[in-house]
Protein backbone atom coordinates (compact mmCIF):
# COMPACT_ATOMS: atom_id res chain seq x y z
CA UNK A 1 0.00 0.00 0.00
CA UNK A 2 1.21 3.46 -0.77
CA UNK A 3 -0.01 6.62 0.89
CA UNK A 4 -1.29 9.15 -1.56
CA UNK A 5 -3.21 12.36 -1.40
CA UNK A 6 -5.18 14.10 -4.09
CA UNK A 7 -4.53 17.73 -4.96
CA UNK A 8 -6.45 20.11 -2.77
CA UNK A 9 -6.88 23.78 -2.17
CA UNK A 10 -5.60 25.22 1.10
CA UNK A 11 -9.19 25.39 2.33
CA UNK A 12 -10.00 21.76 1.72
CA UNK A 13 -7.68 19.11 3.07
CA UNK A 14 -6.72 16.51 0.52
CA UNK A 15 -8.48 13.20 0.91
CA UNK A 16 -6.31 10.27 1.77
CA UNK A 17 -6.35 7.64 -0.92
CA UNK A 18 -6.38 3.95 -0.32
CA UNK A 19 -4.02 2.68 -2.98
CA UNK A 20 -3.78 -1.10 -3.19
CA UNK A 21 -2.31 -1.34 -6.68
CA UNK A 22 0.81 -3.08 -5.45
CA UNK A 23 -1.10 -5.56 -3.27
CA UNK A 24 -3.53 -6.26 -6.09
CA UNK A 25 -0.74 -7.45 -8.37
CA UNK A 26 -0.13 -10.39 -6.09
CA UNK A 27 -3.80 -11.18 -5.56
CA UNK A 28 -5.09 -10.94 -9.10
CA UNK A 29 -7.37 -13.88 -9.99
CA UNK A 30 -7.58 -15.24 -13.50
CA UNK A 31 -10.99 -14.09 -14.70
CA UNK A 32 -10.53 -15.13 -18.30
CA UNK A 33 -13.36 -17.65 -17.99
CA UNK A 34 -15.91 -15.02 -16.98
CA UNK A 35 -18.77 -14.61 -19.43
CA UNK A 36 -18.54 -11.49 -21.57
CA UNK A 37 -19.73 -8.26 -19.94
CA UNK A 38 -20.79 -5.05 -21.60
CA UNK A 39 -18.59 -2.09 -20.78
CA UNK A 40 -21.15 -0.57 -18.36
CA UNK A 41 -21.48 -3.95 -16.67
CA UNK A 42 -17.72 -4.25 -16.33
CA UNK A 43 -17.63 -0.80 -14.77
CA UNK A 44 -20.40 -1.81 -12.37
CA UNK A 45 -18.44 -4.89 -11.34
CA UNK A 46 -15.32 -2.79 -10.79
CA UNK A 47 -17.25 -0.32 -8.63
CA UNK A 48 -18.69 -3.19 -6.63
CA UNK A 49 -15.34 -4.77 -5.89
CA UNK A 50 -13.67 -1.42 -5.27
CA UNK A 51 -16.39 -0.61 -2.75
CA UNK A 52 -15.78 -3.93 -1.03
CA UNK A 53 -12.05 -3.21 -1.04
CA UNK A 54 -12.55 0.04 0.84
CA UNK A 55 -15.13 -1.38 3.21
CA UNK A 56 -13.04 -4.39 4.15
CA UNK A 57 -9.95 -2.25 4.66
CA UNK A 58 -11.56 0.23 7.01
CA UNK A 59 -13.38 -2.47 8.95
CA UNK A 60 -9.98 -3.57 10.25
CA UNK A 61 -10.03 -0.51 12.50
CA UNK A 62 -13.41 -1.63 13.89
CA UNK A 63 -11.86 -4.87 15.08
CA UNK A 64 -8.89 -2.93 16.39
CA UNK A 65 -11.30 -0.78 18.40
CA UNK A 66 -12.79 -3.89 19.93
CA UNK A 67 -9.43 -4.68 21.52
CA UNK A 68 -9.74 -1.64 23.78
CA UNK A 69 -13.43 -2.14 24.41
CA UNK A 70 -13.06 -5.80 25.36
CA UNK A 71 -9.82 -5.40 27.27
CA UNK A 72 -11.31 -2.76 29.58
CA UNK A 73 -14.21 -5.16 30.11
CA UNK A 74 -11.79 -7.80 31.38
CA UNK A 75 -12.17 -10.17 28.47
CA UNK A 76 -9.89 -13.22 28.73
CA UNK A 77 -6.69 -13.38 26.66
CA UNK A 78 -8.08 -16.18 24.53
CA UNK A 79 -10.87 -13.89 23.37
CA UNK A 80 -8.60 -10.90 22.86
CA UNK A 81 -6.18 -13.03 20.87
CA UNK A 82 -8.85 -13.61 18.24
CA UNK A 83 -9.01 -9.94 17.39
CA UNK A 84 -5.65 -9.53 15.65
CA UNK A 85 -6.62 -12.37 13.32
CA UNK A 86 -9.87 -10.60 12.45
CA UNK A 87 -7.94 -7.41 11.74
CA UNK A 88 -5.55 -9.28 9.48
CA UNK A 89 -8.47 -11.06 7.78
CA UNK A 90 -10.16 -7.79 6.86
CA UNK A 91 -6.95 -6.28 5.50
CA UNK A 92 -6.32 -9.42 3.45
CA UNK A 93 -9.88 -9.34 2.13
CA UNK A 94 -9.29 -5.77 1.00
CA UNK A 95 -6.22 -6.89 -0.92
CA UNK A 96 -8.16 -9.77 -2.48
CA UNK A 97 -10.94 -7.41 -3.54
CA UNK A 98 -8.29 -5.10 -4.98
CA UNK A 99 -6.99 -8.04 -6.98
CA UNK A 100 -10.42 -8.53 -8.51
CA UNK A 101 -10.66 -4.83 -9.35
CA UNK A 102 -7.36 -5.09 -11.17
CA UNK A 103 -8.34 -8.32 -12.92
CA UNK A 104 -11.51 -6.65 -14.17
CA UNK A 105 -9.41 -3.87 -15.67
CA UNK A 106 -10.00 -1.33 -12.92
CA UNK A 107 -7.65 0.62 -10.70
CA UNK A 108 -7.72 -0.36 -7.03
CA UNK A 109 -7.46 3.15 -5.69
CA UNK A 110 -10.23 4.97 -3.84
CA UNK A 111 -10.67 7.78 -1.35
CA UNK A 112 -10.46 6.61 2.23
CA UNK A 113 -13.64 7.56 4.08
CA UNK A 114 -13.52 9.35 7.40
CA UNK A 115 -12.76 6.89 10.16
CA UNK A 116 -14.87 7.02 13.29
CA UNK A 117 -13.60 5.57 16.54
CA UNK A 118 -15.36 2.59 18.04
CA UNK A 119 -17.42 3.96 20.93
CA UNK A 120 -16.55 2.89 24.45
CA UNK A 121 -20.06 3.72 25.73
CA UNK A 122 -18.56 5.35 28.77
CA UNK A 123 -21.98 6.17 30.20
CA UNK A 124 -22.25 2.51 31.20
CA UNK A 125 -19.91 -0.07 32.74
CA UNK A 126 -17.13 -1.43 30.51
CA UNK A 127 -18.74 -4.87 30.22
CA UNK A 128 -22.01 -3.38 29.11
CA UNK A 129 -20.21 -1.20 26.59
CA UNK A 130 -18.36 -4.21 25.26
CA UNK A 131 -21.62 -6.13 24.91
CA UNK A 132 -23.02 -3.32 22.77
CA UNK A 133 -20.02 -3.39 20.45
CA UNK A 134 -19.95 -7.17 20.21
CA UNK A 135 -23.63 -7.22 19.31
CA UNK A 136 -23.29 -4.57 16.63
CA UNK A 137 -20.14 -5.96 15.03
CA UNK A 138 -20.36 -9.72 15.49
CA UNK A 139 -23.98 -10.59 16.11
CA UNK A 140 -25.41 -8.15 13.58
CA UNK A 141 -22.99 -6.96 10.87
CA UNK A 142 -20.92 -10.11 10.54
CA UNK A 143 -23.91 -12.42 10.78
CA UNK A 144 -25.62 -10.53 7.98
CA UNK A 145 -22.40 -10.72 6.00
CA UNK A 146 -22.33 -14.49 6.41
CA UNK A 147 -25.83 -14.75 5.01
CA UNK A 148 -25.24 -12.43 2.08
CA UNK A 149 -21.87 -13.87 1.10
CA UNK A 150 -23.20 -17.42 1.44
CA UNK A 151 -25.91 -16.62 -1.08
CA UNK A 152 -23.46 -14.94 -3.44
CA UNK A 153 -21.11 -17.89 -3.14
CA UNK A 154 -23.87 -20.38 -3.89
CA UNK A 155 -24.71 -18.52 -7.06
CA UNK A 156 -21.22 -18.60 -8.52
CA UNK A 157 -19.93 -21.25 -10.84
CA UNK A 158 -16.72 -22.94 -9.80
CA UNK A 159 -13.74 -20.72 -10.49
CA UNK A 160 -11.38 -18.20 -8.95
CA UNK A 161 -14.12 -15.89 -7.70
CA UNK A 162 -15.96 -18.76 -6.03
CA UNK A 163 -12.72 -19.80 -4.36
CA UNK A 164 -12.07 -16.26 -3.20
CA UNK A 165 -15.59 -15.82 -1.90
CA UNK A 166 -15.37 -19.15 -0.11
CA UNK A 167 -12.22 -18.01 1.69
CA UNK A 168 -13.78 -14.72 2.70
CA UNK A 169 -16.94 -16.48 3.84
CA UNK A 170 -14.97 -18.81 6.12
CA UNK A 171 -13.38 -15.79 7.79
CA UNK A 172 -16.71 -13.99 8.18
CA UNK A 173 -18.17 -17.11 9.80
CA UNK A 174 -15.29 -17.03 12.26
CA UNK A 175 -15.89 -13.33 13.00
CA UNK A 176 -19.60 -13.81 13.54
CA UNK A 177 -19.01 -16.79 15.80
CA UNK A 178 -16.62 -14.67 17.83
CA UNK A 179 -19.41 -12.17 18.34
CA UNK A 180 -21.98 -14.71 19.46
CA UNK A 181 -19.50 -16.57 21.62
CA UNK A 182 -18.44 -13.34 23.31
CA UNK A 183 -22.07 -12.40 23.88
CA UNK A 184 -22.63 -15.75 25.53
CA UNK A 185 -19.70 -15.11 27.85
CA UNK A 186 -20.57 -11.53 28.73
CA UNK A 187 -24.35 -11.62 29.11
CA UNK A 188 -24.35 -13.57 32.39
CA UNK A 189 -22.29 -10.74 33.87
CA UNK A 190 -24.98 -8.11 33.21
CA UNK A 191 -27.59 -7.44 35.87
CA UNK A 192 -31.26 -6.89 35.08
CA UNK A 193 -30.91 -3.13 34.64
CA UNK A 194 -27.97 -3.53 32.29
CA UNK A 195 -29.90 -6.11 30.26
CA UNK A 196 -32.82 -3.73 29.99
CA UNK A 197 -30.51 -0.95 28.79
CA UNK A 198 -28.91 -3.33 26.32
CA UNK A 199 -32.33 -4.23 24.96
CA UNK A 200 -32.96 -0.54 24.40
CA UNK A 201 -29.59 -0.22 22.71
CA UNK A 202 -30.71 -2.87 20.24
CA UNK A 203 -33.10 -0.34 18.72
CA UNK A 204 -30.16 1.90 17.87
CA UNK A 205 -28.09 -1.02 16.66
CA UNK A 206 -30.83 -2.39 14.40
CA UNK A 207 -31.64 1.07 13.04
CA UNK A 208 -27.96 1.60 12.34
CA UNK A 209 -27.83 -1.63 10.36
CA UNK A 210 -30.81 -0.54 8.27
CA UNK A 211 -29.35 2.91 7.65
CA UNK A 212 -25.98 1.48 6.75
CA UNK A 213 -27.14 -1.32 4.45
CA UNK A 214 -30.56 -0.71 2.94
CA UNK A 215 -29.80 2.48 0.98
CA UNK A 216 -27.18 0.49 -0.93
CA UNK A 217 -29.77 -2.05 -2.01
CA UNK A 218 -31.85 -0.71 -4.88
CA UNK A 219 -35.30 -2.21 -5.12
CA UNK A 220 -36.60 -3.81 -8.22
CA UNK A 221 -33.31 -4.14 -10.01
CA UNK A 222 -32.56 -7.28 -11.95
CA UNK A 223 -29.07 -8.09 -13.07
CA UNK A 224 -28.04 -10.44 -15.83
CA UNK A 225 -26.71 -13.81 -14.63
CA UNK A 226 -23.46 -13.04 -16.44
CA UNK A 227 -22.98 -10.02 -14.23
CA UNK A 228 -23.74 -12.15 -11.20
CA UNK A 229 -20.82 -14.36 -12.17
CA UNK A 230 -18.60 -11.29 -11.81
CA UNK A 231 -19.70 -10.97 -8.19
CA UNK A 232 -22.38 -8.32 -8.61
CA UNK A 233 -25.49 -9.13 -6.67
CA UNK A 234 -29.16 -8.40 -7.00
CA UNK A 235 -30.13 -5.59 -4.67
CA UNK A 236 -33.72 -6.62 -4.23
CA UNK A 237 -32.79 -10.14 -3.23
CA UNK A 238 -30.00 -8.91 -0.96
CA UNK A 239 -32.50 -6.61 0.73
CA UNK A 240 -34.87 -9.48 1.35
CA UNK A 241 -32.03 -11.57 2.74
CA UNK A 242 -30.94 -8.73 5.00
CA UNK A 243 -34.41 -8.52 6.54
CA UNK A 244 -34.83 -12.29 6.73
CA UNK A 245 -31.49 -12.74 8.46
CA UNK A 246 -32.42 -10.23 11.13
CA UNK A 247 -35.87 -11.66 11.62
CA UNK A 248 -35.13 -15.36 11.55
CA UNK A 249 -31.58 -15.54 12.88
CA UNK A 250 -30.45 -12.44 14.78
CA UNK A 251 -33.64 -11.62 16.67
CA UNK A 252 -34.07 -15.22 17.93
CA UNK A 253 -30.39 -15.37 18.86
CA UNK A 254 -30.49 -12.16 20.84
CA UNK A 255 -33.73 -13.26 22.44
CA UNK A 256 -32.08 -16.44 23.58
CA UNK A 257 -29.34 -14.32 25.09
CA UNK A 258 -31.98 -12.69 27.30
CA UNK A 259 -32.66 -9.50 25.37
CA UNK A 260 -35.94 -8.08 24.17
CA UNK A 261 -34.87 -8.24 20.57
CA UNK A 262 -38.22 -8.55 18.81
CA UNK A 263 -39.58 -5.36 20.34
CA UNK A 264 -36.33 -3.59 19.49
CA UNK A 265 -36.44 -4.75 15.87
CA UNK A 266 -40.08 -3.73 15.56
CA UNK A 267 -39.26 -0.29 16.93
CA UNK A 268 -36.21 0.07 14.69
CA UNK A 269 -38.24 -0.93 11.63
CA UNK A 270 -40.85 1.69 12.44
CA UNK A 271 -38.14 4.27 12.98
CA UNK A 272 -36.47 3.50 9.67
CA UNK A 273 -39.58 2.96 7.57
CA UNK A 274 -38.62 5.85 5.32
CA UNK A 275 -35.33 4.15 4.51
CA UNK A 276 -37.13 0.99 3.43
CA UNK A 277 -39.58 2.91 1.30
CA UNK A 278 -36.95 4.82 -0.64
Partner 1 sequence: MSISRALLRHKALLAASSVVLAMTACVGGDEAKTDDTQAVITDTSGDTQDSQPVDTDPADTNVTDTSVADTSAQGDCNSVPSEEVTECCDALRAACEAEHGAGTDAANECIFGEDFSGSTGCIPWGPPVPPKARRAFV
Q: What part of residues 126-165 is at the interface with partner 1 (CB under 8 A)?
A: 132-133, 135-139, 141-157
Under 8 Å between Cβ of 18 and 111: yes
What value, to the nearest 5°, has the Cα angle with vertex 120 and ends 117 and 124? 155
Select from 36, 49, 34 the least CA-distant residue to 229: 34
- State which of residues 99, 100, 108, 242 lies at the interface with partner 1 (CB under 8 A): 242
Question: What is the closest distance, in whole angstroms, from the C-beta atom of residue 188 to partner 1 in the complex?
Answer: 8
Q: Which is nearer to partner 1, 4 or 276 (CB)?
A: 276
Question: What is the closest distance, in whole angstroms, from the C-beta atom of residue 3 to partner 1 in the complex?
Answer: 20
Q: Which is nearer to partner 1, 1 or 255 (CB)?
A: 255
Find the helix or strand (DSSP H, E) in which 88 lies: helix 82-103
What is the residue-wise DSSP string for 103-127? HTT---EEEPPPPPPPP--TTS-HH
Report the C-alpha gap between 182 and 98 in whole angstroms: 31
- State which of residues 7, 11, 30, 123 lies at the interface with partner 1 (CB under 8 A): 123
Is the Cα dihedral 113, 268, 237, 176 positive or negative? positive
Select from 23, 35, 39 the least CA-distant residue to 230: 35
Q: Which is nearer to partner 1, 13 or 220 (CB)?
A: 220
Number of residues lying near partner 1 (CB under 8 A) = 116
29-68 residues near partner 1, rule: CB under 8 A = 38-41, 43-44, 47-48, 51-52, 55-60, 62-63, 65
171-210 residues near partner 1, rule: CB under 8 A = 172-173, 175-181, 183-185, 187-188, 193, 196-197, 200-201, 203-205, 207-208
Distance, C-alpha 154 to centroid of its chain: 19
Under 8 Å between Cβ of 21 and 108: yes
- State which of residues 232, 259, 261, 268 lies at the interface with partner 1 (CB under 8 A): 232
- State which of residues 234, 259, 261, 268 lies at the interface with partner 1 (CB under 8 A): 234
Select from 90, 97, 107 the least CA-distant residue to 21: 107
Question: What is the closest distance, in whole angstroms, from the C-beta atom of residue 70 to partner 1 in the complex?
Answer: 12
Q: How many residues does the chain have?
A: 278
101-120 residues near partner 1, rule: CB under 8 A = 116-119
Question: What is the closest distance, in whole angstroms, from the C-beta atom of residue 52 to partner 1 in the complex?
Answer: 6
Q: Which is nearer to partner 1, 79 or 103 (CB)?
A: 79
Q: Which is nearer to partner 1, 14 or 122 (CB)?
A: 122
Report the C-alpha gap between 213 and 132 in whole angstroms: 19
Amino acid sequence: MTFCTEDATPETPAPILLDLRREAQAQQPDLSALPPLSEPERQMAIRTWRGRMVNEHISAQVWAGLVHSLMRAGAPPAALAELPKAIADELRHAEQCAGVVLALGGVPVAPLPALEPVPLHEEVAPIEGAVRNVISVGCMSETIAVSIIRAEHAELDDGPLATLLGEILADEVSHARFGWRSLGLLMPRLDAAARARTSRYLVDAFAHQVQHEVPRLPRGGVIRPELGQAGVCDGGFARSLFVDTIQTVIVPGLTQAGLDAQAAWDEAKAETAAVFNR
